[in-house]
Amino acid sequence: MFISNSCFLNKYYLFILFLFLVSTNISAQNWRSGWVYIENVETGLVIDVQGNVKANGTTVWPYSLNYSKAQMFQFSEHHIPERYGEDARYIMAYDNSGFGSDFYLSVKTPPLVIVDTNEPAGPGTIGRDLVLPPTVGVVDTDRPNSNKKTLRNFAFSIETKREIDDSPISVINDLSISSGEAPLQIWKILPVPNAPDVYYIQNAHFREKMVVEPLDFSSGGTLVLSSFAGSDIQKWRILKTAPPEPTNLKLSNFEWEEKLNQSPWYKPWKWHYVQKIKGKLSWTNSNASGLTKQNIIIDSSSTDYETITLEPSKTSDEFNIKSSKSAKTEEHCFTVKAHSKWQAQDWVFSDDLCENPDFEGAPPTEPTPTTGVGKLIVFNCHNDKETVRLWTYDVTANTGSWKDHGTLVSEWQNGQCLNVSPKEITISDDHLYLLKAIDCGSSPPNATQGTCHKLTSPIIQGRENGISLTFQIN
């Protein structure tokens, strides 16, 4: 049999188109993967495991959003027979250990018998008023049911996974309620047309289309199964607990630079070059109100950069952080991490943005370190116009004797210091020195009160042909 190339190609393209549409549909539905919360469209309440107690029989109810683990669920299709359809799922409660639990959203009811309204209800029975008027036949899945009925005798809880009972349940049959003691745990997740992330949650075990809704608007109220009416009270918004990924990362003015750090100024032998990277990173954040913080993570092969922590509302950051020599020519990868308000599964990373920094020419050569000071230059700007006497002490020789370098008059005049007549002191050997200025008497510093000491220098390394170091007495 001969198949033309054009026929083969047409089928091939149709198959690729089918895969694209399927993958697009799946990726657009939040409930198909990951942890989610389930919020009622009309009340704003979310489905919640009471007290976050993960045990058989724990009540599940509608509750105010509090971002706790009790309000986190995941949908699972494992071991669901194909006859229930592709939208059938178990709804699994979050396990406090961080993994999938073995507890699933369930409805169940004990055996009940409807008694006549003229007789008092005894133990194990239920009055007719607990079920609204029944409809005739099966509810059309494409058409809301005008005669809505609500099953208040079915209680919502979490239970371990049970064997599937294949017999469908009729809601009303000859004034008796069909009830299964086994929990009903399979749900159909039905999209609401033209409403992204909004669904009806139908229990798959009934002949009729019975969907989940809150009985009233109160937090801590009751969930019930009702016949499908298409109203907002039956619609649920299914959203991921992880925040949306930061997108559209852009990096501008990204540079590597090297500058000489001349600190401390009186110890030039400690001056050194400092390398930094600087620039501006911007991004798009589609849900700032749902975040607690954001991080910028910068990665390169040789340098460990500190994580930058930012407020939730930020969508850009101008950074200027310490780097290394080797990082000048390396690729740097930037990532934004967003943290949501949820207690678990609460963060997401953006895609990486990787670039090399710009730099101007060759880096400066290492300076020839200056290892000492050859001359001290002292200005007297004593604002009380006091004359001071200058002394030096040879710390290396440590003879106990201070050297007197005479007096220096104040240059403070008319509210300012002239700074024109300093005293110069030469310390050209390799010894360590200490400089002091005294404004009372002619005694050396070790025989003078501390209140007279107007200047005390740090220890200074003397060196022939060393630099000149300037001091000002105030």
Pick the residue with more confidence: 331 or 470?
Answer: 331
Question: Is 63:79 a contact under the CB 8 Å cutoff?
Answer: no
The answer, yes or no, to whether residue 383 has pLDDT greater than 80, is no
Residue 50 DSSP SS3: helix
Q: Which DSSP string do the residues of 268-294 spell out, in sequence order?
A: GGG-EEEEEEEEEEEEE-S-GGGEEEE
Range from 95-99, 178-182, 231-235, 356-360 that averages highest in pLDDT = 231-235
Choice among 212-226, 345-359, 376-390 with the minimum mean pLDDT? 376-390
Name beta bridge partners: 103.
Answer: 160
What is the per-residue pLDDT for 134? 33
- Which CATH code fits 373-473? 2.60.40
Check: CB of residue 92 under 8 Å from CB of residue 114.
Answer: no
Which amino acid belongs to residue 149? K
Residue with more model confidence, 190 or 260: 190
Query: DSSP label at 46?
Result: E
Whether residue 351 is predicted with pLDDT greater than 80 in this model: the reply is yes
Greater pLDDT, 361 or 296: 296
Provide the pLDDT for residue 403: 92
Count of CB atoms within 10 A of residue 292's CB?
A: 15
Q: Is the pLDDT of residue 377 over 80?
A: yes
pLDDT for residue 442 is more than 70: yes
Angle at 338 between CA 334 and CA 341, to 5 degrees: 170
What does the alpha-carbon distance between residue 221 and residue 313 come to, in Å, rounded to a whole number? 34
Q: Higher-confidence residue: 21 or 313?
A: 313
Distance of CA 193 to the CA centre of its chain: 33
Res 229: pLDDT: 94
In the predicted structure, residue 156 carries a pLDDT above the cut 90:
yes
CA–CA distances in Å: residue 343 to residues 11, 63, 281, 299: 48, 16, 28, 27
- Selected residue with higher pLDDT from 23 and 153: 153
Alpha-carbon gap, residue 389 to 403, rounded angstroms: 11
DSSP string, 158-172: EEE------SPBPS-
pLDDT for the residue 31 = 62
On the question of pLDDT at 228 being above 50, the answer is yes
Tell me the mean pLDDT in the region 395-415: 87
CATH class of domain segment(s) 247-355: mainly beta
Mean pLDDT (whole number) for 57-69: 95
Tell me, what's the pLDDT at 296? 96
The per-residue pLDDT for 7 is: 46
298 residue type, one letter: I
Range from 95-109, 165-179, 442-456 carrying the lowest mean pLDDT:
165-179
Instruction: With cut-offs at 50, 70 and 90, classify the pLDDT of residue 6.
Output: very low
| CA distance linking residue 339 with residue 75, whole number of Å | 23
At residue 171 the predicted structure's pLDDT band, cuts being 50, 70 and 90, is: low
Over 50: is that where the pLDDT of 172 sits?
no
pLDDT given at position 122: 44
More confident call, 182 vs 394: 394
If we measure between CA atoms, which residue out of 450, 428, 430 comes closest to residue 440?
450
Whether 68 shows a pLDDT value over 90: the answer reads: yes
- CATH topology (fold) of 34-240: Trefoil (Acidic Fibroblast Growth Factor, subunit A) (2.80.10)
Residue 230 backbone phi and psi in degrees, to 5: 75, 10
- Domain locations in the chain as residue ranges: 1-32, 34-240, 247-355, 373-473
Whether residue 174 has pLDDT greater than 60: no
Q: What pLDDT is stored for residue 262 in this prediction?
A: 72
Between these two residues, 35 and 10, which has the higher pLDDT value? 35
pLDDT at residue 88 is higher than 80: yes
Lowest mean pLDDT of 64-73, 258-267, 290-299, 300-309, name the range.
Answer: 258-267
Domains 247-355 and 373-473 share a fold: yes
